[in-house]
Homo-oligomer: A and B are copies of this chain.
Amino acid sequence: MFDIKVLSKADTEKLLKMNDVINVVENVYRSKSENKTCVFPLIFHEFEPGVADMDIKSGWLKESNIFGLKLVSWFGENVKKDLPALIGAIMVMDSTTGVPIGILDGAHITGMRTGAAGALGAKYLARPDSKTLLIVGAGHVSTFQMAATLLLFPDLKTVMIYDPMNFNTAITKAETIKDTLKNNFDIKVDEKVKFTAVSDIKDATGISDIIITVTPSRKPIIMKEWVKPGTHFSCIGADMSGKEEIDPEIFRDARVFGDDITQCINVGETEIPVALGIISKEHIAGEIGDIISGKTTGRENNDQITIFDATGIALLDLATAKLALDEAKRNSMGSTVDL
């Protein structure tokens, strides 16, 4: 009855350019600050704690006339079955008629919008003259962070990669990242940018202007006394109660922004500093969209520590999915099915 576009992971990989995704994510953050969006309650179910769970995130983008959902499953045992542990599917509907318009694989879209989110935190909060980026966590997500941040900070000179679990992962990532960015993201990194795997997180922290954390850690990896004045943190990994990547004491004197304040306090990097009473909810300066929309200012001086806590919101997935659907239409890509 309805013709629906279906886009596979491979389709979304071909269709999405990081620069466009950054624009889309920036617009969603602005719209959210201007009350032009609506985030519906999160559904979360653990099939078996620590082994398998799923969540359904949904919402409405009023200006784009779309609503929809992303269902993400995590089945830790899947690797043994030669299947990805994390599987996502996105459904997009027209919010003027309710008609479904697209169904998309969620894996690549999640990576792209998460990379854009971390980099936008740096764009609005890091010192504009930042030269040194430290990526904490050398997994799949880190690639997207580097792709987006290099686009927004063309003057970066050094990218350090630290992996708390396995130094070899960081080495491999540092060796292959230029090729990956060229081949998979169509991003040609300037010769002057050096990628280095680092094994001493204390020393690396002390010379970093921008630190992006993308680990599933449940205890701090970076301590406050290692951080130099003026450093910016984009904290990406914490998206579930109990997860934390940086010393909660760093929050005490920092200027803190989130993507969705309620969600940040419930499940983000901000959860533990608030729970410990290190900061109150009122200490949070706002949502990142409030800077973009001009409601508030970001960094106040060059010595301030800034933090962007990005927990991930379905609106980013929906807007990125819409971008992919529009591009697919323009390029006659993807499959069409009758629902």
Interface residues of A (CB under 8 A from B): 1-2, 6, 8-10, 38, 40-41, 43, 45, 47, 52, 54, 56, 58, 60, 67, 69, 71, 73-75, 78, 81, 83-84, 87, 89, 91, 93, 95-100, 103-105, 107, 335, 337-339
Contact = CB atoms under 8 A, between A and B. Distances in A.
Which 4 pairs across A and B sit closest by C-beta, in order of nearness? A73-B98, A6-B337, A8-B338, A75-B98
Contacts of A41: 41, 43
A82 to B, nearest CB: 11
B8 A339 contact: yes
6 contacts: A40-B43, A43-B43, A47-B67, A83-B97, A83-B99, A89-B91
A81 B94 CA distance: 14
Given A6-B337, A87-B98, 8 more contacts: A6-B338, A45-B60, A47-B60, A73-B97, A83-B97, A89-B93, A91-B91, A337-B337
B74 A105 contact: no
Contacts of A105: 1-2, 339
Q: Is the interface of A mostly helix, strand, loop or mixed?
A: strand
A282 B69 CA distance: 37
Nearest to A9: B1
A73 B93 contact: yes
A43 B91 CA distance: 15
Contacts of A337: 6, 8, 335, 337
A43 B60 contact: no
A43 B58 contact: yes
Given A339-B6, A339-B89, A81 B97 contact: yes
A96 B80 CA distance: 13
B38 A45 contact: yes
Contacts of A87: 2, 97-100
Contacts of A40: 43, 45, 56
